[in-house]
Structure 1
Amino acid sequence: MQSNQKIALIGLGKMGSAIAEKLLEAGLALVVFNRTQNKTEPLQKMGAQVADSIQSAVSDADIVFTSVIDDEALLSVSKEILAHAKKGAIHVSTSTILPNTAKELEAMHEDAGCIYIASPVLGIPKAVRAKKATTFCSGNQTAIKKIIPLLETYSAMVENMGGSISHANVFKVCMNYSLITAIELISELYVFAEKSGVDKAYIQGALKYMYSHPAVHVYIDKIYQRDFDQVNFDMKGGNKDVHLFQKAFLDAGVSPDLASVFESKVTEALANQMENKDWSAVSDVIRRRSGLE
């Protein structure tokens, strides 16, 4: 790690503050800026230099980290950064944003003679502080080689997704989407069990077992390979089960939202003569709806 690198970090919310702490703990000189100045105080005590503006934070920086809430905020902050950053400066964005926004930002930075790197973080601030986060990065490969040691100060794993700037954000969306569907699923199951008089502790234990179970891995691989002719459970059986799930939930006064989403795809699969395919072939319905077929 080059100790003479001049590093700035803009945005000291929970994630930005955690990342700043890890950079400082690694012995790196760091300039920080946040519009709410009191959030800089704990970092100043750790040795950070506090800037009074984005201009003063970035004008001499080789690498600028940003951690802001959304696409609009990142575009706005980036315009300020590019108005004052020196040529060749690397902007590392840790935010979860749209892939198309990443493309727009890359073009903006190229026009200004700077480099934009997408580097979203998978993990909560507590994971960052424990160096257990995962970071996905994509963009200019020479720049990524320079920043990987910095990303490793707060990440257990750094995944270089290659030169296409949007790929890290696509992957982050995939991971977060899987998380929200899991939250919805877990919530529905707990409510259904509770309303049916079953101790939720049984569901908790089963879910922890299920998500590490080889059966789940079978479907991860089957859908990846589109291996739907080797049938574990056919579409007709899936249709029966999804209706059973819906009725059981409704009988308990619980809305089976995920089952209803799944049912629409099973119905379409059956209408397209897929009754003898594995029920995971609903993946092909999603592909067709998305224009991949």
Structure 2
Amino acid sequence: MSTIAFVGLGVMGDPMARHLAGAGHDVVGFNRTPAKAEPLVEAGGRAAESVADAVRGADVVALMLPDTPDVETVLADVLDTAAPGTLIIDFSTIRPDAAADFAARAAERGMRMIDAPVSGGQAGAENAALSIMIGGEEAAVADARPLLEVVGKTVVHVGPAGAGQTVKAANQLIVAGNIALLAEAIRFLEAHGADLPAAVEVLGGGLAGSKVLEQKAPKMLSGDFGPGFRIDLHHKDMGIVSDAARAAGVVTPVGALVAQLVAATRAAGDGGLDHSALYRTIARLGGEDVR
């Protein structure tokens, strides 16, 4: 069993840390809001008062943070505190170039770092059914795999440092596009007076079926847009997609449109809602007074 420092106990990090504690690991959690460490403590973990306090003596450091600057800030404390040989697993979704740079910095200090962003949302985290795309050196990935398989159902090594983040960016592009089209389809069905639950059921049984339809259609039908995965975070992710595509000379015309829809949803004050709230923007564009 390993001693794991887990930094970032939000919607995703909290259940992941609890699963690791439940698997018998000694998990020491830190979050800027101390109360968020309470569920981990109840699950058998421990709470730390700082990043350095969590990391000191840990075999593995796991990060689940909102954005690239957050990872950079926390990583500075990790590199100053952790012992050589420590394995750092970054579950955050950040820029691919930054992930590769962070791995190189860790190597300079004698540590190993892999990027392991996840997909599956809150439900996937709660059910230990996440899809994890891993970038990093083969030996480090092999050492991390037993821990990753505690929190994930599909765990795949996709290439060198930064590759996991590249695949996650592609994932976020596909998910945002699917959500936008699902919102349009439901508005279309509503306009024609269709039985919406029945329509969603039959669509789910055909080629239009997807995890997005399965998980997000009920939120659109009920009007319950509590997160979940927040629009603010998907807006950040679409920025990563746009920047990485531009750097590679790749054209993403549909992605550019979806990025604008996500940005419009955020600008309308819905940034704290689940990304299924793209439905509200589609409704606004159709003339509905959405408040």
Q: TM-score, normalised by structure 2?
A: 0.68
Is the Cα–Cα contact under 8 Å of residues 59 and 84 in structure 1 kept in the other structure? yes
The answer to whether residue 184 in structure 2 is matched with residue 188 in structure 1 is: yes
* Counterparts of 2:80 and 2:50, CA distance in 1: 12
Higher mean alpha-carbon deviation, 150-159 vs 39-48, is at 39-48
Equivalent residue number for residue 52 of structure 1: 49
1:149 aligns with 2:118: no
Choose from 110, 116, 122 the match for 1:119.
Answer: 116
1:206 CA displacement? 4.2
Distance (Å, rounded) in 2 between the aligned partners of 1:64 and 1:188: 42
- What's the counterpart of residue 37 of structure 2? 40
CA positional deviation for 1:92: 0.3
Q: Paired residue for 1:160, among 153, 157, 161? A: 157
Matches of 2:257 and 2:180, distance apart in 1? 12
**Residues 1:198 and 1:6: Cα distance change in structure 2 (over 3 Å):** closer
Between the aligned partners of 2:92 and 2:199, the Cα distance in structure 1 is 34
Encode CA deviations 1:211-246: one digit per residue, 9 max, x unaligned. Answer: 368xxxxxxxxxxxxxxxxxxxxxxxxxxxxxxxxx
Q: Which residue number corresponds to residue 25 of structure 1?
A: 22
SS at match of 1:74: helix
Tell me the alpha carbon deviations over residues 39-88 of structure 1, each in whole angstroms, 9 at most, x when there is no partner. Answer: 11221122212211111111211110011111111111111111111112
What letter corresponds to residue 165 of structure 1 in structure 2?
Answer: A
Question: Does 204-213 or 98-107 show the bigger shift?
Answer: 204-213
Q: Does 1:93 align with 2:90?
A: yes
- Counterparts of residues 271-286 of structure 1 (less than 5 Å): none
Deviation at 1:20, TM superposition (A): 0.6
Structure 1 pair 16–261 and aligned structure 2 pair: CA distance change class (3 A): closer
Contact conserved, 1:97 with 1:169, CA < 8 A, in 2? Answer: yes
Q: 2:70 aligns with which of 69, 73, 90?
A: 73
Moved over 4 A (4+): none
1:10 aligned residue (7, 22, 26): 7
Q: Within 1, Cα distance between the matches of 2:207 and 2:17?
A: 33
Paired letter, 2:5? A
The reply on whether 1:178 has 2:174 as its aligned counterpart is yes
Residues 147-167 of structure 1, C-alpha deviations (whole Å, 9 max, x = no match): 1011111111211113x1121
Name the amino acid aligned to 1:173: A
What is the RMSD of the two structures over their aligned residues, measured on CA atoms?
Answer: 2.2
1:140 to 137, 140, 145: 137
CA 44–198 in structure 1, closer or farther in 2 if over 3 Å, else same: closer
Greater RCO, 1 or 2 (C-alpha within 8 Å, sep 6+) = 2
Q: Does 1:62 align with 2:59?
A: yes
Cross-structure match for 1:224: none
Question: Aligned-pair distance for 1:202?
Answer: 5.3
Q: Distance in 2 between matches of 1:144 and 1:261?
A: 36
Query: Using a 3 Å threshold, how does the CA distance of structure 1 residues 74 and 261 change in structure 2: closer, same or farther?
Result: closer
CA distance in 2, matches of 1:111, 1:174: 29
Which runs of 5 or more structure 2 residues have no equivalent in the other structure? 210-252, 259-291
Percent identical: 29
- Check the 8 A contact 1:189/1:203 in 2, yes or no: no
Q: Judge conservation of contact 1:93–1:119 (CA < 8 Å) in 2.
A: yes
| Partner amino acid, structure 1, of 2:129 | K
Q: Is the 8 A contact 2:132 2:155 kept in 1?
A: yes
Contact 2:14 2:39 (C-alpha < 8 Å) held by counterparts: no
Measured against aligned partners, the alpha-carbon deviations of 1:6-32 in whole angstroms (never above 9, x if no partner) come to 211011101110111100110111111
Q: 1:105-127 CA deviation, whole Å, 9 max, x = no partner?
A: 11221222211100111112322
**Cα distance in 2, alignment partners of residues 125 and 206 from structure 1:** 25
Structure whose CA Rg is larger: 1
